[in-house]
Amino acid sequence: MLVFLKIYRYNPEDGRTTPSFDTYNIDAQPTDRVLDLLEHVKGYIDGTLAFRRSCAHGVCGSDAMRINGRNLLACKVLVKDLGREITVEPILGLPVLKDMIVDMEPFFNSYKAMMPYLVNDEIPADGKERLQSPEDRERFDDTTKCIMCAACTTSCPVFWSDDQYVGPAAIVTAHRFIFDSRDTAAKDRLQILGDHGGAFRCRTAFNCTEACPREIHVTQAIAEVKQAIR
Amino acid sequence: MVQHHQHEVVIVGAGGAGLMAALYASRGADTAVLSKLYPTRSHTGTAQGGIGAALGNLEPDKVEWHTFDSVKGSDYLGDQDAIEYMCAQAVPVVYELEHMGLPFSRTKEGRIAQRRFGGHTNNETKQPVMRSCYAADRTGHMILQTLYQQCIKNKVHFYDEFHVLDLLMRDGVANGVVAVELATGDLHVFHAKAVVFATGGHGRIWELTSNAYAYTGDGVAITLRRGLPAQDLEFFQFHPTGIYRMGILITEGVRGEGGILVNNKGERFMERYAPTVKDLASRDVVSRAIYLEVRAGNGINGKRYVYLDMRPEVVNKYAEADGRTTPDGKPYRVTGEQLLAKVPDIVDFARTYLGVDPIKEPMPIQPTAHYAMGGIPTNMHAEVLADAKSTLVPGLYAAGEVACVSVHGANRLGTNSLLDIVVFGKEAGKRAAEYAKGAQFKPLDDDPTAFTREQLNRLLSGSGGERIVHIGEEMKLKMMDDVGVFRTAEGMKSAEEKVRELRQRFAKISVDDHGRKFNTDLLNAWELGCMLDVALATTISAEARQESRGAHAREDFPKRDDPNWMKHSLAWLDGDQVKLDYKPVVVTKYQPMERVY
């Protein structure tokens, strides 16, 4: 099937300081990923097109983009689910560096601010695993799935307008530890998230939940964190 | 502009092996980690089914059984001292991961959950054993996340999106690397006392692969270009169950939970190839069986695929036929809901990419290029070896898929790659830091970036007429056809000729992008050069080996030949020539036997 592909282009080094769109007519299979189309353009038509990708099946989190106005992973959305007209743009709210590549540093800095590691120095005397019931393990299962693709954070209207807000992904990370029965630093994380820029910046728009390619119930996780702060 | 840095230990690659090395090296030395990706994008994150360790949480298991299974799985090419070490270390290292916070799935008693996996058995009953420690079907994701989190906690110094292009050496001693910073295009020289390569594999040289775009063989190519050998490259694993036409991995855990393989006649054909463990035979055995079924006309609708069936009614039917029981002795039965909880990502992949709900329909699968058993030769301390006499390369370490210890020999067992990265990543980090403490910074050459600039300038100023994508596609197709699951002298010879032709054409490549910032066009071209080097060394190593062993299956030499070929190959690349040498396999207590499952 013939696909009409519009790709956002921006490269100040090359004089393309004003964002513009390049358009391509591409003969695609309905089962092609959008990433396959981008690879086709880069390989056969214009090697200067820049985007990040690695695993190509929705696990590594490299290729979150705005596709037909929605945040999706380019490797996890197929042509047949989008139709003949496909527009690809970088995710919003992070500085664009070149084409689809945005500056991820602010995103990872928020992640790092969450104490994103288990805090518990006690190890069982026999040196074996700590025990955790299947129910306690299930309590935070959903938020262990996060691949840090930034699809949620960059779909959030509060994040777009408030550069103090840590964003949904950072709160998902905090949730994964706060509700892990083995962790002992929940209080510290809740204090961080109780501050300005924390969980109460969330206005429950649900954009994050809709954007998550891992189907994490992001808004619910944020609500659980808010509840725990109170 | 060239920027200079100095760190006692420099680690290249931030997957499981690199991060584990970083954690341990940073305890004793100033350590930096360089990765061409953000660390959390590394390919470790795609590993699904589990990490092998004889914890015995659900049924009796022993380190000795794990060791023997791995030796047998390696088709007697693995070094037995290293395998013994890895399997013994498996138990404490899995507990260590749990202590770091890894969210393993749990048994009813709250212990780490374990499942069956191909080639892992109770050595007394010969039946599959639950040895694979898992976190649903995203075990690699959780290992990568946990190790990255621990590195943040321990303030490890990261250089994200720094692509290493060269290894620096002086008088045979490693003393640094050269990297390009993606964001600026600047070259950076990292002066080091010790260098650890943890750059992963090279599955992208084949057309159909489960491997990430990043898996272009950088580490092996860089060391080949610096005059070091690559070991056992002819052994590359094809995983039996890749998604048809895409190659995306469907974990062996699906068969561990009771899924079976079916041909066009509706027959569970693995009963004929591996009567005892059937669908849970070693990966090389199952991949060959699928090829033979397709060749015999038993592919689904005459096409090049078979079905992987995990519908609960099918799982239960064959579990009953096999007399499978749960640890408490009851008949093994599953519901769709239970399967969904065990392998949620697989269900998601099948729905997304195949439009198939695997709880209700079987999945079309075919073998997919998956794992490099070969790589940079090391001993069991992750120290890189320069020749068949095992001469050490001072200051240089390698761990994970890029390395060849060899613990996987001719065929790796499922779950042993995640084990390899944590056991030998740890070893590399510890050893590199110890070495750095007793060593001085060896002076750099006057112009350390000369070789890197020469390579990049050639790609930027090529005479034109060749595009990366054409050369890459021709290489991948040829390697798939002739250096794949089954091989012949004739096919491999034609592959060698093809790769040589492509290497000549590669010299004429010109890239479109001549800018500095995020010039992924230029770096893709450089990666293609790595793949061509690795493809050539792989093909010639494979042509030379006149036997069938593990993943190297020759139609013209169908039998294993221990008197002549129970030895590791070493390949050196010198311009267009590949020179080969061999070294013996380390045997401790397991004499080679016929390998049946």
For B112, the closest chain A residue by CA position comes to A129
Beta strands in B244-352 (DSSP E): 260-262, 306-309
Which two tokens mark B120? 């892992």
Q: Which of B19, B23, B38 to mutate to test the interface with A (most CBs of A within 10 A)?
A: B38
Q: How far is B572 from chain A (nearest CA, A)?
A: 29
Task: Note the pLDDT of residue B509.
Answer: 93
CB contact A123 to B (< 8 Å) = yes
Residue B99's pLDDT band (cuts 50, 70, 90):
very high
| pLDDT tens, residue by residue, B513-545 | 999 999 999 999 999 999 999 999 999 999 999
- Residue for token digits 């090829």? B291
Contact across the interface for A104 and B38, Cβ inside 8 Å: yes
Mean pLDDT value of segment B590-594: 96
Contact across the interface for A47 and B521, Cβ inside 8 Å: yes
Mean pLDDT value of segment B468-496: 98
Average pLDDT in chain B: 97
**Closest of A77, A97, A80 to residue A88, by C-alpha:** A77
CB contact A191 to B (< 8 Å) = no
Which two tokens mark B520? 């992924």
A41 interaction partners in chain B (CB closer than 8 Å): none
Q: Which of A39, A94, A103, A117 to mutate to test the interface with B (most CBs of B within 10 A)?
A: A117
Adjacent-strand bridge partners of B162: B181
A54 interaction partners in chain B (CB closer than 8 Å): 37, 41-43, 212-214
The SS3 of residue B325 is strand
- Residue for token digits 């689910």? A81
Residue B55's pLDDT band (cuts 50, 70, 90):
very high
Task: Note the pLDDT of residue B346.
Answer: 96
A52 interaction partners in chain B (CB closer than 8 Å): 41
Mean pLDDT value of segment B203-231: 98
Residues 34-63, chain A, touching B (beta carbon < 8 A): 42-44, 46-48, 50-62
- Residue for token digits 């959950």? B113
Mean pLDDT value of segment B171-185: 98
pLDDT at B231 over 90: yes
| pLDDT tens, residue by residue, A49-81 | 999 999 999 999 999 999 999 999 999 999 999
CB B157 within 8 A of CB B296: no
Contact across the interface for B40 and A128, Cβ inside 8 Å: no
Partner residue facing A57 (CB), from B37, B150, B248: B248
Residue A230's pLDDT band (cuts 50, 70, 90):
confident
Indicate yes or no: pTM above 0.95: yes
Residues 6+ positions from A39 with CB-CB distance below 8 Å: A53
Partner residue facing B103 (CB), from A56, A76, A137: A137
pLDDT at B462 over 90: no
| pLDDT tens, residue by residue, A2-58 | 999 999 999 999 888 899 999 999 999 999 999 999 999 999 999 999 999 999 999
| pLDDT tens, residue by residue, B397-446 | 999 999 999 999 999 999 999 999 999 999 999 999 999 999 999 999 99
Which two tokens mark B130? 């639950």
φ/ψ of residue B244, rounded to 5:
-50, 130
**Closest of B72, B56, B45 to residue B112, by C-alpha:** B56
Q: How far is B160 from chain A (nearest CA, A)?
A: 10
Task: Note the pLDDT of residue B482.
Answer: 98
The DSSP annotation for B395-423 comes to EEEE-STTEE-SSSTTSPPTTHHHHHHHH
CA distance A63 to B362: 29
Angle B513-B518-B522 (CA atoms, 0-180°, nearest 5)? Answer: 45
CB B343 within 8 A of CB B136: yes
Between the CA of residue B146 and those of A153, B55, B97, B141, what are the distances in Å? 22, 20, 8, 8
pLDDT at B360 over 90: yes
Q: How far is B118 from chain A (nearest CA, A)?
A: 24
CA distance B316 to B320: 6
Q: How many CB atoms lie within 10 A of CB B204?
A: 24
**Closest of B298, B301, B302 to residue B267, by C-alpha:** B298
CA distance B396 to B381: 11
Residue B465's pLDDT band (cuts 50, 70, 90):
confident
φ/ψ of residue B376, rounded to 5:
-70, 125
The conformation of residue B373, written as its DSSP 8-state character, comes to: S
Partner residue facing A97 (CB), from B112, B183, B513: B183
φ/ψ of residue A75, rounded to 5:
-90, 0
pLDDT at B1 over 90: no
CA dihedral A33, A35, A40, A43 (to 10 degrees): -150
The conformation of residue A201, written as its DSSP 8-state character, comes to: G
Contact across the interface for A117 and B153, Cβ inside 8 Å: yes
pLDDT at B463 over 90: no
Q: How far is A80 from chain B (nearest CA, A)?
A: 11
Q: How far is B393 from chain A (nearest CA, A)?
A: 32
Residues 6+ positions from A144 with CB-CB distance below 8 Å: A176, B103, B135, B138, B142, B145
CB contact A144 to B (< 8 Å) = yes
Write down how long chain A is: 230
What does R_g of chain A's alpha carbons equal in angstroms? 20
CA dihedral A218, A219, A223, A224 (to 10 degrees): -20
CB contact A185 to B (< 8 Å) = no
A180 interaction partners in chain B (CB closer than 8 Å): 101, 103
Contact across the interface for B152 and A131, Cβ inside 8 Å: no
| pLDDT tens, residue by residue, A207-223 | 999 999 999 999 999 99
The SS3 of residue A24 is strand
B353: exposed, middle or buried (C-beta count within 10 Å: 0-12, 13-18, 19+)?
buried
Mean pLDDT value of segment B548-554: 98
- Residue for token digits 């001085």? B440
Task: Note the pLDDT of residue B175.
Answer: 98
Residue A186's pLDDT band (cuts 50, 70, 90):
very high
Partner residue facing B150 (CB), from A54, A117, A144: A117
Q: Which of A48, A76, A212 to mutate to test the interface with B (most CBs of B within 10 A)?
A: A48
Angle B443-B446-B452 (CA atoms, 0-180°, nearest 5)? Answer: 105
Beta strands in B171-281 (DSSP E): 173-181, 187-197, 230-231, 236-243, 260-262
The DSSP annotation for A94-122 comes to S-EEETTEE--HHHHHHHHTT--S-----
pLDDT at B21 over 80: yes
Residues 149-168, chain A, touching B (beta carbon < 8 A): none
The SS3 of residue B97 is helix
- Residue for token digits 């038993």? B298
B283 counts as catalytic: yes
Task: Note the pLDDT of residue A16.
Answer: 81
Q: Which amino acid is at A164?
A: Q
Q: What percent of chain A has pLDDT over 70?
A: 100
Annotated active-site residue in B116, B283, B412, B431: B283
Mean pLDDT value of segment B556-571: 98
Contact across the interface for B517 and A76, Cβ inside 8 Å: no
B524 interaction partners in chain A (CB closer than 8 Å): 47
H-helix or E-strand spanning residue A2: strand A2-11
Per the rule left: phi > 0, alpha: psi between -120 and 50, beta: everything else, A96 is beta
Residue B499's pLDDT band (cuts 50, 70, 90):
very high
The DSSP annotation for A160-175 comes to HH-TT---HHHHHHHH
Contact across the interface for B518 and A101, Cβ inside 8 Å: yes
CB A127 within 8 A of CB A172: no
| pLDDT tens, residue by residue, B255-282 | 999 999 999 999 999 999 999 999 999 9
CA distance B362 to B59: 30
A58 interaction partners in chain B (CB closer than 8 Å): 348-349, 352
